[in-house]
Structure 1
Amino acid sequence: MLLPGRILITLCLMSLVCSTAFSAEQVKSIRVWKAPEYTRIVFDLTGAIDHQVFMLNKPERLVLDLSNTVTPKSLSKLDFSGSPVSGIRHARRSKTDVRFVLDLKEAVKPKSFLLKPNDHYGNRLVVDVYPLSKQGQQSESIQSAKTVVANGKRNVIISIDAGHGGEDPGAIGPGRLMEKNVVLSIARELKREIDAMKGYRAELTRSGDYYVSLRGRTRLARKQKADLFVSIHADAFHKKSARGASVWALSERGATSEMGRWLAQKENDADLIGGVGNVSLGDKSDVLKEVLLDLSMTSSLKSSLDVGSLVLSEMGQVARLHKKHVEQAGFVVLKSPDIPSILVETGFISNPTEAKNLGSHNYRKKIAKRLAHGIKRYFQDKPPVGTYLAWVKAGRPTAPKVVPTRVHRVESASSTPKVASSVSSSKSVTKYKVQHGDSLSRVARKFSVTVNDLKEINGLKSSIIHVGQTLKVPAKRS
């Protein structure tokens, strides 16, 4: 039986309306993550959507229009304290669209993007809100990195990077143990350990549960003028039997690709390399840029492997090691051209035994202590120029007073006095035994004489001296 035309049209329209309503995506929930530089607002969605973001002023508001979207009758109350957002409200803009309005305390710069589903979340709309008042300002953390210890000498700066954070939980172990929380706890413990050592200062790339981009982490380390970058993670594998801590440095291939990226991007021209040496690339020829970058990355990679080896050996005191050597890969966070960088996998959070360890506060403190010991061993041996540690290793600028060893008179003219230490003395000449790390100029400074004086009295034709060699040192000139 054929239906009358009017009824048929009505049914088609009803079907179309139902189809449209059925296909509309839904905002399931909204979450807020607060970072020092910005606030992230995440809209959890049932599917991909189209959206628009724009600003309104008098008063300041941020508007988000979501197409073909519906919302539940009520959304969870959100905590915007400590952010430029004072509140959020929403209403239907049309039969198919929803408008969200964020009331603001100050002017902001918004950024928005969509994220596809992953292992932990479905489709998401992310809105990052940057207060204009903070643009171009250095954080208090970065300013504190310049602390002077003594005699105008600076701290060794360690940039500690707790992996993942905020929207990115990292690996998840038994009992919903999240990597982002474990590694932040270890990072904080490591900061406490390092800050307790004279001549050191630790800085965190993130101090709370928020996300920092991979390139953003290395940029922070460079702003902090770090001498070492340590990224902390917890491994995971589909087999629960996988276990062991490991340390990673950048691979040769990763270093090569990063050098190419720096040379290809014009915005890097004004950047500095060489750590605290501050070598600008902006005024260099293309060939010289390549040479400088190559030298810087080669030096940083060697230092990364050296410090990584010491850290790995220390971690072996409390944790089972996955490999007994430093592994190498092209991790983005290891690609700073001027900062030695290592990535530490503290264990497999997917392994029940290691997850239990990583969930223990005492175990995390032990891991942090061993990391600090490894870092200390490296910088005691190779302190950066201009640091308090280098000043101490050089014997300090104020040379220790030479205390003459009392020489007993002996009857035989052929007898020689026994030397109780590396220094002995007569009325006009002091004898000094060359120590590890000495140079002729350093000995001259130590005794306030000239290099020529030392050469002349010792009959030296060059400035080369050897450990264990005994030098005659003339009395200080008046």
Structure 2
Amino acid sequence: MSDDAPSPIFTAYRPNRRTLLQAGSLALLLAGKHQIAYGASIMAVRVWPAEDYSRVTLESDVPLVAKQTLIESPPRLAVDIEGLQLNDALKELVAKVRPDDPNIAAIRVGQNAPNVVRLVIDLKRDAVPQVFTLKPVAAYQHRLVFDLYPAKTVDPLEALIQDRLRDATSNPDIPAALTPPTQQATAPHDPLGDLIAKHSSTAPSAPAVSPPAATPAPPQTASKTPGPRTEASAPKRTDRIIIVALDPGHGGEDPGAIGPRGTYEKNVVLKIAQLLRDRINKSSINGSPMRAYLTRDGDYFVPLGQRVAKARRVQADLFISIHADAFTRPSANGASVFALSQKGASSTAARWLADKENQADLVGGINVRSQDAGVQSMLLDMSTTAQINDSLKLGTALLTQIGSFAKLHKPRVEQAGFAVLKAPDIPSVLVETAFISNPQEEQNLRSAAYQTKLADAMMEGIRQYFIKNPPLARSRTV
């Protein structure tokens, strides 16, 4: 180029502000997608075994995407999780499987592809898996959940009956309540009675389900007033099993309230429920044996609607949900008993507590899409006035006994819209045993002696309720 030739003119590209903002937004969007797809960090892994179902949870800082395949023989669930690198947290899953887990035999993890981790859950029996995600709530970040339900479930009512039959066989002194023939003839059809009779007739060592054939009495012993039955002639049967459903609050992913010393509500209330169960199973009312049914008997989560459904499935005569309260002020103290309200809460505190307890499903984590429509609608149905009146009577009996040794938060039964109390045909109460947020009451709840006092008081409250309000007549011959 000659010196005389004009010099070329170069103009620098200067993007305007709008272009810069658009480019920045696109970069952030791509970075966000890259984080979800390839930058996930596993924060915790948990395994919750139970007879009802076993749960595996992966908690991460971003949502996880998973594709699952159920393999029938041998039964196992294979899951590919995108955006993960195999790390120590994931490897911990292998050691978290307990030998007594009724559903999971083992868990294997491996890097299936550069950014895909494969999780294989070996099953002990055929299962119906549910895989779903949960958004951040309470102390949890994003959760990927695997619920493994057994394909063949155990009927809880049958289990109660079998338990009763074993006791009747091994303890011939168990009192038997005999319903007069006239009452049996007019009693309404009871599906539970049919089921009990079926199991009684098939059990090899079960007591007789009907009295022996009548034989003419010798003339010299004939009398208008029959004498007492002898041990040889008395049939071993009961016409009425009184079933009390005990509902230990929270469990599994949902710890409930946590005390200043780190005491979990879910653990305390389960222990109290187990103590009360043992007392109920050894008791009888007017000759009718009692049986307790726990909505959960281990550390796992049960949705609120399922707790109610379980109690109705065993045709429970009472439903008692057991909790340990918490409040923002550590000075709050005292036990409380609540019944359902059709007209709103009886106090601001009762409304606040009901709202808090009704959020348990969010913390515990339920697969909303799998919820049975009947369970959902049941939670919306208002209970009958008769049920609420009976619940208030039960609550008063319990509160009187607990108040004999413990401080009460309120001297009367309170009412609020607790979802777990909405069984329309079962008297239902929620017992707040104490404020676990209060240091002194937390110490009480940790004490085995205090837990025993609570169980004894509730047992006596149940007994006093039934003395004044006998259970409805049913022909349940076993």
TM value normalised by structure 1: 0.66
1:313 paired residue number: 400
Say whether 1:351 aligns with 2:438. Answer: yes
Aligned equivalent of 2:248 = 162
Contact 2:40 2:61 in 1 (8 A): yes
Gap runs ≥5 in structure 1: 1-15, 256-264, 273-292, 389-478
For 2:63, the equivalent position in structure 1 comes to: 48
| 1:125 and 2:125 correspond | no
Match of residue 457 from structure 1: none
Matches within 5 A, 1:52-201: 52-73=67-88, 75-76=91-92, 77-81=95-99, 82-134=101-153, 137-138=155-156, 141-144=159-162, 149-151=176-178, 152-198=238-284, 199=288, 200-201=290-291
- Shift of the 157–254 alpha-carbon distance from structure 1 to 2, 3 Å rule, reads farther
Letter in 2 for 1:79: V
CA–CA distance in structure 2, aligned partners of residues 67 and 266 of structure 1: 30
Query: Post-superposition shift, 1:49?
Result: 1.7
Query: Which amino acid is 2:249 matched to?
Result: G
Give the letter for the 1:131 counterpart.
Answer: P
> Aligned residue for 1:251?
341
1:177 counterpart SS class: coil
Deviating 4+ runs (over 6 angstroms): 16-19, 145-148
- SS of equivalent to 1:37: coil
Q: Distance in 2 between matches of 1:146 and 1:297?
A: 31
Q: CA deviation at 1:20?
A: 4.1
Bigger mean CA offset, 172-181 vs 37-46: 37-46
CA distance in structure 2 between the partners assigned to 1:380 and 1:68 by the alignment = 62
The answer (yes or no) to whether the contact 2:160–2:291 under 8 Å persists in 1 is: no
Answer with 112-121 or 40-49: which moved more: 112-121
Contact 1:90 1:99 in 2 (8 A): yes
Task: Please name the residue that 1:420 is paired with.
Answer: none
Structure 1, 197-206 or 160-169: larger mean CA deviation: 197-206
- Checking the alignment, whether the CA contact within 8 Å between 2:333 and 2:434 is kept in structure 1 is yes
Higher strand share: 1
User: Partner amino acid for 1:326?
Assistant: V
Report the CA distance between 1:104 and its aligned residue. 2.5
Q: Does 1:329 align with 2:416?
A: yes
Shift of 1:85: 2.3
Aligned mates of 1:327, 1:99 — CA distance in 2: 51
> 1:214 aligns to what?
304
Instruction: Measure, in 2, the Cα distance between the counterparts of 1:129 and 1:353.
Output: 40
Match of 1:26? 41
Q: 1:88, CA displacement in angstroms?
A: 1.6
Q: Deviations over 1:405-431 (max 9, x none)?
A: xxxxxxxxxxxxxxxxxxxxxxxxxxx
SS in 2 for 1:363: helix
Partner of 1:228: 318
Alpha-carbon distance, 1:40 to partner: 0.8
Cα distance, 1:139–1:75 mapped onto 2, change above 3 Å? farther
In 2, Cα distance between equivalents of 1:362 and 1:87: 39
The structure showing larger relative contact order (alpha-carbon pairs under 8 Å, at least 6 residues apart) is 2
Return the TM-score normalized by structure 2.
Answer: 0.66
Matches within 5 A, 1:226-305: 226-253=316-343, 268=374, 297-305=384-392
- Identical pairs, percent: 41
Change (3 A) 1:105 1:188: closer
Q: 1:58 to 1:228 in 2, by over 3 A?
A: closer
Larger radius of gyration: 1
Distance 1:357 1:94, change over 3 A: same
Unaligned runs of 5+ in 2: 1-29, 169-175, 179-237, 346-370
Distance 1:144 1:75 in 2: 41
- Quote the Cα distance in structure 2 between the aligned partners of 1:116 and 1:267: 23
Pairwise CA distance, 1:176: 1.1
**1:128–1:363 CA distance, 2 compared to 1 (3 A):** same
Q: 1:27 to 1:379 in 2, by over 3 A?
A: same
- Larger deviation: 296-305 or 326-335? 296-305
CA spacing shift, 1:193–1:157, aligned 2, 3 Å? same
TM-superposed deviation, 1:42: 1.2
The alignment status of 1:39 with 2:54, answered yes or no, reads: yes
Equivalent residue, structure 2, for 1:402: none
2:148 counterpart SS class: strand
How far is 1:203 from its partner? 1.5
Instruction: Mark the CA change 1:103 to 1:385 in structure 2 (over 3 Å): closer, same or farther.
Output: closer
SS in 2 for 1:75: helix
1:28 is displaced (CA, Å) by: 3.3
How far the C-alpha of 1:101 sits from its partner, in A, is: 1.4
Q: State whether residues 39 and 129 of structure 1, in contact with CA within 8 Å, keep that contact through their aligned partners in structure 2.
A: yes
SS of the aligned residue for 2:152 comes to helix
Partners of 1:335 and 1:21 lie apart in 2 by 44
- Offset, 1:201: 1.9
Residues 373 and 57 (structure 1 numbering): CA distance in 2 closer, same or farther, change over 3 Å?
Answer: closer
CA deviation string 1:228-256 (max 9, x = no partner): 0000000001110111110000111479x
CA separation of 1:139/1:115 partners in 2, compared to 1, >3 Å: closer, same or farther? farther
Report deviation, 1:197. Answer: 1.9
SS of aligned partner of 1:153: coil
| Farther-moved stretch of structure 1 (371-380 vs 229-238) | 371-380
SS of aligned partner of 1:355: helix
Q: Structure 2 CA distance, aligned partners of 1:144 and 1:246?
A: 35
The answer to whether the 8 Å contact 2:97/2:105 transfers is: no
CA distance in 2, matches of 1:222, 1:145: 19
